[in-house]
Amino acid sequence: MSWLGAGVGAGVGMAIGGPIGAGIGAWIGSSFGNNKQQFSVQESQTIFFVALCSMFAKMAKADGVICEREVKTVLGFFDQMNLDSEDKSAAVKIFNNARLDDVSIYDYAAQYSRIADVEMREMVYRMLWDVANADGRVHPNEDAILKEIPLHLGIPASRYTEAQTGSVSSLDESYEVLGCTGEESDQEIRKKYRRAVSEYHPDKIQSKGLPKGFLDFANEQTKKLNKAYEEVMTHRGS
């Protein structure tokens, strides 16, 4: 499976610009502008992967040293994605380029938030937690990033608490998980819940060009949505 080469062949670097486009440029030795267009599945795969590798590098470096366990975790993601040897080498190069550049992780996150759907952004955040936890503890610098970066990724701030505890911790957060408010009707909440669950359907994950390994993430998100919906409806007596 060749994600990266196919995406660049489709011209994604020319279209995106910014820190992610610069990451693509540093990888293949070209420079890109800021033209805007709709991205194909192959292009979206490349954008996702360059953004992900770059943010991995920034997170791994946040505590001052990139340890062997962090490297092993990142390489494990590459294996999970079934990258071929050429794309795996490209991913390592992208990681190393980002490790040395002066762009902040928030710059990468902010650009990615403008071009990726919320499911992809949620996925990136969960994977950043895995990198931060790779050495058995979350360093204060890593923790600071994990607290702030949801703002730049355009996802709810409550994702930080959820990732820490592994569950939704309050009624307000349950509403937030569902993208709803307490003022909305049962019918409106049910509609948003069903729409959100449908976004994590296996067919939707595959349509985004993601490997089957990401189905575990989709299943985890579906469980959170189900739990949040149950809590909200129980509170409402519905």
pLDDT band, residue 213 (cuts 50/70/90): low
Compute the distance between CA of residue 53 and CA of residue 78 in angstroms, rounded to an integer.
10
CATH 1.25.40 at 163-238, yes or no: no
Predicted local confidence at residue 10, as pLDDT: 44
The answer to whether residue 144 scores a pLDDT higher than 50 is: yes
pLDDT band, residue 164 (cuts 50/70/90): confident
What residues have CB less than 8 Å from 11, skipping those under 6 apart? Answer: 43
Tell if the pTM clears 0.75, that is, is over it: no
13 vs 232: which has the higher pLDDT: 232
Lowest-confidence segment of 15-29, 90-104, 168-182 by average pLDDT:
15-29
The answer to whether residue 34 scores a pLDDT higher than 50 is: no
32 vs 155: which has the higher pLDDT: 155
Predicted local confidence at residue 47, as pLDDT: 80
Are 1 and 78 spatial neighbours (Cβ–Cβ below 8 Å)?
no
Compute the distance between CA of residue 188 and CA of residue 45 in angstroms, rounded to an integer.
33
pLDDT band, residue 148 (cuts 50/70/90): very high
The answer to whether residue 166 scores a pLDDT higher than 80 is: no
The answer to whether residue 7 scores a pLDDT higher than 50 is: yes
Query: Rounded mean pLDDT of the chain?
Result: 80
Class of domain 1-155: mainly alpha
3-state per-residue secondary structure call for the chain: CCHHHHHHHCCHHHHHCHHHHHHHHHHHCCCCCCCCCCCCHHHHHHHHHHHHHHHHHHHHHCCCCCCHHHHHHHHHHHHHCCCCHHHHHHHHHHHHHHHHCCCCHHHHHHHHHHHCCHHHHHHHHHHHHHHHCCCCCCCHHHHHHHHHHHHHHCCCCCHHHHHHHCCCCCHHHHHHHHCCCCCCCHHHHHHHHHHHHHHCCHHHHHHCCCCHHHHHHHHHHHHHHHHHHHHHHHHHCC
Between helices 105-115 and 18-28, what is the axis angle to 10°?
110
Predicted local confidence at residue 220, as pLDDT: 79
The answer to whether residue 211 scores a pLDDT higher than 60 is: no
CB atoms within 10 A of CB 171: 15
Sequence ranges of the domains in the chain: 1-155, 163-238
| Both structure tokens of 185 | 């009707």
